[in-house]
């Protein structure tokens, strides 16, 4: 308890430092809470809450509520006040989530997520709405929760719709909260706060060296990405990993090296692009796309060569991203992929061609794609043809409309957009769709009237 008291005092001081550091409220969510905490909770009100829900909140969180504030400033959009917390009647039962939860466990549990029937809790709610308390939101379907009952009491985890819960690295609420303040004060990137391992360069390198498993090594490396700059010693450390680890660990190190020292990554990126491994090619291409956008033209020739050995959609997609940011007309390099056996590849090829400034030069290729039998390929192709207003495509659009009578895949909606761009409209007569000029009917009527 005394340690928590000392930590509470530190946090109070650091909250002021964080506000001073981020005086323009540029940290994600800061403009909503403005580094202000709500008034503290009355101990009697806290006791009533715990009695009602048959739970004793973690001691550090209780102190936070009673001595710092009942919600307010915190990671992302801040911490909820206790009265606004989602607290189901089964708060006192053990939380079923845990840090080591496997994908199999999660999938088995997730299968219970049935619709609510007659106002009753589904089996999913019965099994999962227990032992946890909602702390706040990260926006969209990302939420933060606190385990308040069970073996992992006190741990913070993130809930992402349809995905396995992610437990943060800290063992209790106050450590997690204080780390948030430390990273703001240090100027780290807190965009995805909590998803990466905390600590400075030395502690992360130590964690890497002590790790026996590649998964843990990768987590330590990912923690480095939060920094604005890194030391020459850490750069040398990354280069050594790349040269000795021909696996996911080495590839993670290459991403970091490109992020922090592009010049020193050039020869290593070149080597990866010349590899027979699509994982290596993907890593190099992602590195260039994410961290070397200013230099994409320097990589076009090597990417063209690497593209000849690509069969994975993700690799193909990222090469397309790099091409799209270059000044190179890459259309001819994409043409072979519009007839690829993989529908995903063909669909991506349509998207990449659609990024070209001179995509009108590839009408014949778009015509071929518009005759594909996969709806995703068709949808991507129709969308890629935005601003390509040529009547040559009308028969192909009409063919799609008549082969796919429903709008389940939004094909009709998107063709309607293309027709509108050409000042035309879709009409249906005897279940047969046609695309005609908007003035066609009124013009015919006028002719009939003249007669």
Closest of 300, 354, 288 to residue 346, by C-alpha: 354
Q: CB under 8 Å to 57, separation ≥6 — which residues?
A: 46, 50, 65, 133, 148
Average pLDDT for the chain: 91
- CA separation for the pair 65, 69 (Å, rounded): 5
What pLDDT is stored for residue 90 in this prediction? 62
Residue 323, CA atoms < 13 Å, CB-side half-sphere: 27
Cα 298 to Cα 294, 310, 315, distances in angstroms: 9, 20, 19
Specify the pLDDT at position 83. 76
Q: Give the pLDDT of residue 192.
A: 92
Which one has a higher pLDDT value, 286 or 103?
Answer: 286
Query: How many angstroms from the chain centroid is the CA of residue 270?
Result: 28
- Neighbour count for residue 1 (Cβ, 10 Å): 8
Q: Which pair of structure tokens corresponds to residue 10?
A: 């530190």
C-beta neighbour count of 79 within 10 angstroms: 27
Mean per-residue pLDDT for 333-347?
96
**Mean predicted confidence (pLDDT) in 215-239:** 96
Average pLDDT over residues 335-359: 96
Domain boundaries, the chain: 2-184, 196-328, 336-451
**Torsion angles phi and psi, residue 54, rounded to 5:** 55, 50
CB 145 within 8 A of CB 159: yes
Q: Which residue has the higher pLDDT, 407 or 203?
A: 203
Q: How confident is the model at residue 399 (pLDDT cuts 50, 70, 90)?
A: very high
- Label residue 226 by pLDDT band (50, 70, 90): very high
Element containing residue 254 per DSSP (H, E)? helix 248-260
Convert the pLDDT of each residue in 435-447 to its tens digit.
Answer: 999 765 554 454 4
Q: What is the mean pLDDT of residues 97-104?
A: 92
Using 50, 70 and 90 to split pLDDT, how confident is the model at 401? very high
For residue 73, give every residue at least 6 positions away whose Cβ sits within 8 Å of its Cβ, in sequence order, or none.
15, 33, 34, 35, 36, 37, 79
* Band (116; pLDDT cuts 50, 70, 90): very low
Q: How confident is the model at residue 451 (pLDDT cuts 50, 70, 90)?
A: very low
Q: 2-184: what fold?
A: SMI1/KNR4-like (3.40.1580)
Residue 49, strand partner residues: none
Dig out the tokens for 58 from the structure.
Answer: 């973690």
**How confident is the model at residue 87, as a pLDDT?**
54
Examine the pLDDT at 449 and tell me if it is beyond 70.
no
Query: DSSP states of 381-430 as a string?
Result: HHHHTTT---GGGHHHHHHHHHH--S-TTSHHHHHHHHHHHTTEEEEEET
- Using the predicted structure, report yes or no on whether residue 322 has a pLDDT greater than 70: yes
The predicted pLDDT at position 2 comes to 65
What tokens were used for 77?
């959009």
For residues 177 and 78, give the distance between their C-alpha atoms in angstroms, rounded to a whole number: 10
What is the arithmetic mean of pLDDT over 125-152? 87
- Residue 272 pLDDT: 96
pLDDT tens sequence across 194-214: 999 999 999 999 999 999 999
pLDDT digits (tens, 9 = 90+) for 256-276: 999 999 999 999 999 999 999
Which residues, other chains included, contact 126 with Cβ-Cβ below 8 Å and sequence gap of 6+?
Answer: none
| 338 has pLDDT over 90 | yes
Placement of tokens 């069970």 in the chain: 150
Question: Which pLDDT does position 129 carry in this prediction?
Answer: 74
pTM given for the model: 0.83
When pLDDT is averaged across residues 405-410 and rounded to a whole number, the result is 88
pLDDT band of residue 146 (cuts 50, 70, 90) is very high
């Amino acid at each position: 308890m005394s340690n928590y008291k000392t930590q509470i005092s530190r946090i109070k001081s650091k909250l002021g430092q964080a506000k001073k550091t981020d005086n323009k409220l540029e940290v994600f969510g800061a403009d909503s809470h403005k580094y202000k905490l709500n008034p503290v909770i009355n101990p009697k009100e806290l006791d009533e809450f715990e009695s009602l829900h048959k739970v004793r909140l973690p001691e550090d969180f209780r102190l936070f509520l009673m001595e710092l504030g009942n919600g307010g400033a915190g990671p992302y959009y801040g911490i909820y006040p206790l009265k606004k917390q989602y607290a189901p009647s089964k708060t006192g039962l053990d939380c079923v989530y845990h840090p080591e939860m496997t994908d199999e466990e999660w999938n088995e549990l997730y299968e219970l997520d049935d619709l609510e029937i007659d106002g009753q809790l589904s089996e999913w709610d019965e099994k999962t709405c227990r032992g946890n308390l909602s702390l706040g939101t990260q926006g969209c379907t990302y939420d933060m929760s606190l385990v308040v009952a069970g073996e992992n009491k006190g741990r913070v985890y993130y809930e992402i719709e349809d995905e396995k819960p992610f437990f943060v690295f800290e063992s209790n609420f106050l450590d997690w909260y204080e780390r948030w303040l430390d990273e703001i004060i240090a100027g780290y990137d807190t965009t995805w706060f909590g998803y990466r391992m905390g600590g400075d360069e030395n502690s992360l390198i130590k964690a890497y060296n002590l790790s026996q498993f590649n998964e843990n090594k990768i987590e330590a490396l990912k923690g480095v990405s939060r920094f604005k700059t890194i030391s020459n010693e850490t750069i040398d450390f990354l280069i050594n990993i790349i040269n000795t680890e021909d696996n996911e660990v080495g590839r993670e190190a290459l991403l970091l090296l490109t992020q922090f020292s592009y010049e020193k990554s050039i020869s290593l990126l070149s080597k990866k692009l010349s590899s027979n491994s699509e994982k290596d090619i993907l890593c190099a291409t992602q590195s260039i796309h994410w961290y070397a956008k200013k230099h994409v033209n320097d990589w076009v020739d090597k990417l063209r060569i690497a593209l000849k050995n690509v069969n994975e959609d993700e690799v193909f997609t990222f090469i397309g991203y790099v091409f799209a940011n270059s000044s190179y007309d890459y259309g001819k390099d994409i043409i072979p992929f519009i007839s690829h056996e993989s529908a995903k590849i063909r669909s991506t090829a349509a998207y990449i061609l659609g990024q070209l400034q001179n995509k009108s030069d590839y009408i014949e290729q778009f015509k071929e794609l518009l005759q594909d039998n996969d709806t995703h390929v068709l949808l991507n192709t129709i969308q890629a043809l935005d601003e390509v207003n040529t009547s040559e495509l009308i028969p192909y659009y009409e063919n799609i409309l008549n082969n796919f009578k429903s709008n389940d895949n939004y094909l009709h909606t998107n063709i309607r957009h293309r027709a509108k761009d050409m000042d035309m409209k879709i009409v249906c007569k005897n279940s047969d769709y046609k695309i005609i000029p908007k003035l066609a009917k009124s013009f015919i009527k006028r002719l009939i009237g003249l007669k």
